[in-house]
Structure 1
């Protein structure tokens, strides 16, 4: 995994886990890699993975069963979608609006591009 400087590593790990869940690579109620295993796989400090897992637990995306490990929560895919939508409306969309205004891009141009992208 290539980490980017503009976002904390633990947050990038949260995104990594969420992407796996959203893509169906990690199914609901399935065991996920332990903190140490994921830290080794991603070549990061286990404390960083622990922080990401704690954040995911608070969002009810994963759950910890003591002595057994971490599991994808039931309903996690839906929760991940809700979190990603909220992030889109809070971050990406305002950035888009700012760029549109700065570059003088109209809604008609965006709609045309959107339709082209969808193959309409």
Structure 2
């Protein structure tokens, strides 16, 4: 895992785990690596991983089964999609809209983007 200097490491770990859930590499009900295992694998302090796990537990993404470990919550995918969509609309979309306006992109320019999105949707349904 390559870390960026522009974001806290514990948030980058959380984001990486979220991506793993959203792309289906981690499934609801599945056990995730222990704090110690993940910290050793990605070469960070255990407290940093624990901070990521605590945040994800607060968000309802993972559950701690005492003595057994951390597991992906049964509704994690739905929960994450809701969170990610809200963050996209609040934080990223305004910047995209601004860029569209500044670059004076027209409907033909954006139609090309929509074609890419639609072809991805079609591939994902098969």
**TM-score of the superposed pair, with normalisation by structure 1:** 0.88
What runs of 5+ residues in structure 2 fail to find an aligned partner? 120-126
Whole-angstrom distance in 2 between the partners of 1:15 and 1:36: 18
- Residue 63 (structure 1) aligned with residue 63 (structure 2): yes
Is structure 2 residue 23 aligned with structure 1 residue 23? yes
Q: Distance in 2 between matches of 1:31 and 1:76?
A: 13
CA distance in 1, matches of 2:44, 2:116: 41
Deviation at 1:76, TM superposition (A): 0.8
Which residue of 2 is the match for residue 105 of structure 1? 105
- Hey, what does 1:13 align to over in structure 2? 13
Is the counterpart of residue 89 in structure 1 residue 89 in structure 2?
A: yes
Q: State the partner residue of 2:39.
A: 39
Query: Following the alignment from structure 2 to structure 1, what is the Cα–Cα distance between the partners of residues 104 and 7?
Result: 28
State the 1:66 CA deviation: 1.3
Paired residues in the alignment total 120
RMSD: 1.8
Cα distance 1:83–1:116, how it changes in 2: closer, same or farther (>3 A)? closer
Report the CA distance between 1:61 and its aligned residue: 0.4
Structure-2-length-normalised TM-score: 0.85
User: Is there any run of 5+ residues in structure 1 with no aligned partner, and where?
Assistant: none
Deviation of residue 118 (structure 1)? Answer: 3.4
Deviating more after overlay: 98-107 vs 88-97: 98-107
